[in-house]
Structure 1
Amino acid sequence: MDFSKANIAAHTHADEPQRLTAVEYTLEDGDRKPYIGADGSVGMLKRGGWLSLKTEPFDGWQTTVFFDIQSDATALDIVAEVSRNFHQPSQDGEWLRFPVIVRSVERFSE
């Protein structure tokens, strides 16, 4: 299987984020499910997905709050918020897995 690589900043409760360079990763987006309310309103529910990083455990990895993921090769620039509602970060062999919700980002430039 061919994995993408990205530069990732893991924002933990420490002062400075952990910077990971050219890390292999997979990002599985959460499922979408239609929702019909009792009043007839309609909406879409988006469940959390998973971010997997092929890296050694870094200081504070279990307390990561969000990730800033950037890849020039794929023009990727997203923020993934770690969601601990139903799952916790875990380690699976050489992969660190995080339950995440992908947030849209618009970079500010002058």
Structure 2
Amino acid sequence: MNSEFYSVRVITQAGDDVDLRNVEASVTFPEPEIYRGADGTGGRVLKGGTLRLSTPEFNGWASAELIYLTNDETGDQSVYEVSRNFSYPVSKDGQLVYPVKPRI
């Protein structure tokens, strides 16, 4: 996903909703890895991605659990779950950076 402008809804661990408007956001995911088992079976391993929001810190930003992005131009919506398995949300250079996986 390229960097575009979105309406953002953040659901925090405390259950609070934070609504942000006209936020520049981007989401990137690494390419899936292919694995082959010893028995000849195989599959794809999907890795977590990175969601970047160009917005100042807001109350509860670090405890975000779900992030809804609605494209301001198209109205398309995506939902991401913040994953804290290997890294945590950080605030860096005016951006909030979240480790995420898509929510289906």
Deviation for aligned residue 1:11: 0.6
Letter in 2 for 1:28: T
Deviation for aligned residue 1:72: 4.2
Do the aligned partners of residues 103 and 30 (structure 1) sit closer, same or farther apart at CA in structure 2, a change above 3 Å counting? farther
Partner of 2:33: 33
Partner of 2:7: 7
Asked if 2 retains the 8 angstrom alpha-carbon contact of 1:34 and 1:42, the reply is yes
| Percent identity for Structure 1 against Structure 2 | 32
Instruction: List structure 1 runs of 4+ shifted beyond 6 angstroms.
Output: none
Aligned length: 103
Give the 3-state SS of the residue equivalent to 1:65 in structure 2: strand
Partner of 1:57: 57
Q: 1:17 and 2:17 equivalent?
A: yes
Give the 3-state SS of the residue equivalent to 1:27 in structure 2: strand
Flag structure 1 segments of 5+ consecutive residues without an equivalent: 105-110
Q: Pairwise CA RMSD of aligned residues?
A: 1.7
Encode CA deviations 1:59-94: one digit per residue, 9 max, x unaligned: 111111111111141443111111111111001110
- For the residues of structure 2 that align with 1:22 and 1:33, how far apart are their CA atoms? 34
